[in-house]
Amino acid sequence: MIKPHGSDSLNPLFIYDSKAHEALAHEAESLPSLTLNSAAAANAVMLGAGYFNPLTGYMNLADALSVAQNMKTTDGLFWPVPVLNLTNNIEAIKDAKRIALRDPNVEGHPIMAVMDVENIEGVSDDELTMMAEKIFGTADGDHPGVSTFMSLGKYVVSGPIQVLSFSYFQADFPDTFRTAVEIRNEIVEHGWKKIVAFQTRNPMHLAHEELCHMAMDRLGCDGLVIHMLLGQLKPGDIPAPVRDAAIRKMVELYFPPNSVMVTGYGFDMLYAGPREAVLHAVFRQNMGATHFIIGRDHAGVGDFYGAFDAQSIFHNEVPEGALEIEIFEADHTAWSNKLNKVVMMREAPDHSKEDFVLLSGTKVREMLGQGKAPPKEFSRPEVAQILIDYYRSQAS
């Protein structure tokens, strides 16, 4: 099986031993506490679940600046995006060496982790701006990821953590949320050797489905992990339970039995384009995938990135041997009226735009909202019906 990033074995930070968990939770109640922002809470979930192996906690300012600038920590570990605990309020923790971290996304702000505080450092506007420019390729406040990042706080609280909770993800998505540990175990149970991962924050239309079939066939994979983002999205995105139902219906009807795992992970979308694509590859390697599909404008938003920037970064900026996982580079896929099937557009050079069935997201949402299914060349009817029911429920 593929090795995790940066170590021989996966080292999740969640405390699985029940006695140790109980003792830590009891201790945490008496510690000074910090309520995290959603981004830091998502980082804690990913650290706990093993997706951010081999990190042991939140980065200090030097590591964050180094990762932003050079995609490596000060001690040389390849890493694409700073993993930070930023806050504006350090009053309750400024002299503490050990603190409880509280969940901002669950009522009552229960404790989700315990942290050994190594540093509390102020971060300047110039440093935040530099990091934003490197991570997102821009410091434009109209970029939703930049806007969020610049508002998270002016203090970097760093140090190792022990995780006690996966926030709301296990309770709200019991059939879908999986840790990197659990996915690795399920891959072993299936006996899969070559596994391709597909990232989505949307329901999967016919073109997405066919892209997964193409990747499996061309790579000779015996398993596909559809890995859904379950964390904070932007307004207008389809809620996770609806996406989950739509994807499961597609897998049930259109993939061979025991060839697909439908799973999800608890992270907030960064919309960081190329850098986020590399981060996605890191945690797919950590969960056991040997290959990862990256298509047009992966993790992008608006017009901030070129169509294939998220692929070219692996050739131009990721050092040779930094990752073991391999990238399956995909173009936009669409139904060809000439060939009567879904194709990658770059593989149909004799086609004009009119030869493809292309619908904008706005047009599709409009059709679904009116109770109309998109054409069968765009969406499976069973999937479309689930989405129609959702849009109807929103209108009533």
Domains of the chain listed by start with CATH number:
18-167 (3.10.400.10), 175-265+271-395 (3.40.50.620)
In angstroms, the CA 87 to CA 90 distance is 7
| Residue 202 appears among annotated catalytic residues | yes
pTM higher than the cut 0.85: yes
Interhelix angle 61-70/125-136, rounded to 10 degrees, is 40
What is the per-residue pLDDT across 339-391, written as a single tens digit (0 to 9) for each?
Answer: 999 999 999 999 999 999 998 878 888 898 899 999 999 999 999 999 999 98
Task: Please identify every stretch of the chain with a pLDDT value under 50, giving residue numbers as ranges.
Answer: none
Read off φ and ψ for residue 69, nearest 5 degrees.
-75, -45
Catalytic residue, from 11, 70, 119, 202: name it.
Answer: 202
Structure confidence at residue 234 (pLDDT): 61
Start-end of H helices in the chain = 18-28, 38-49, 61-70, 125-136, 144-150, 169-172, 180-190, 206-219, 240-254, 273-286, 309-316, 361-369, 381-395
For residues 329, 334, 340, 345, the Cα torsion angle rounded to the nearest 10 degrees is -50
Mode of pairing for the β-strands spanning 356-357 and 333-336:
antiparallel
* CB-based contact 86:39 (threshold 8 Å): yes
Q: Which two tokens stand for residue 18?
A: 């029940």
- Closest to 265 in 3D by CA, of 229, 237, 218, 223: 229
CB proximity list for 238: less than 8 A, separation 6 or greater? 202, 203, 387, 390
Q: Is 71 left (phi over 0), alpha (psi -120 to 50) or beta?
A: left
* CB-based contact 198:223 (threshold 8 Å): no
Structure confidence at residue 106 (pLDDT): 95
Strand order in 195-200's β-sheet?
A: 260-265, 223-229, 195-200, 291-294, 326-329
Element (H, E) at 326: strand 326-329
What is the per-residue pLDDT across 71-124, written as a single tens digit (0 to 9) for each?
Answer: 999 999 999 999 999 999 999 999 999 999 999 999 999 999 999 999 999 999
Catalytic residue, from 11, 70, 98, 201: name it.
Answer: 201
Tell me how far the alpha carbon of residue 174 is from its chain's centroid: 18
Structure confidence at residue 301 (pLDDT): 92
Structure confidence at residue 231 (pLDDT): 73
Structure confidence at residue 240 (pLDDT): 81
In angstroms, the CA 130 to CA 139 distance is 8
- Say how many CA atoms lie within 13 Å of 111 toward its Cβ: 22
**Cα–Cα distance list, 59 to 78, 263, 272, 322 (Å):** 13, 28, 19, 19
Give DSSP secondary structure letters for 266-284.
Answer: -------HHHHHHHHHHHH
CB proximity list for 48: less than 8 A, separation 6 or greater? 12, 13, 14, 113, 163, 165, 166, 179
In angstroms, the CA 50 to CA 52 distance is 5
Longest alpha-carbon distance in the chain: 69
Terminal CA-CA length for the chain: 49
Percent helix / strand / coil, the chain, rounded to 5: 35, 20, 45
**Cα–Cα distance list, 140 to 10, 38, 39, 264, 391 (Å):** 37, 21, 19, 30, 32
Contacts 24+ apart (CB under 8 A), 136-143: 136/270, 136/271, 136/272, 136/273, 136/275, 136/304, 137/272, 137/273, 137/274, 137/275, 137/304, 137/305, 137/309, 138/304, 140/304, 142/302, 143/271, 143/301, 143/302, 143/304
The residues that bridge with 14 in the sheet, in sequence order, are 163
| Residue 201 appears among annotated catalytic residues | yes
Read off φ and ψ for residue 163, nearest 5 degrees.
-100, 135
- Say how many CA atoms lie within 13 Å of 20 toward its Cβ: 10
- Closest to 109 in 3D by CA, of 22, 181, 170, 35: 35
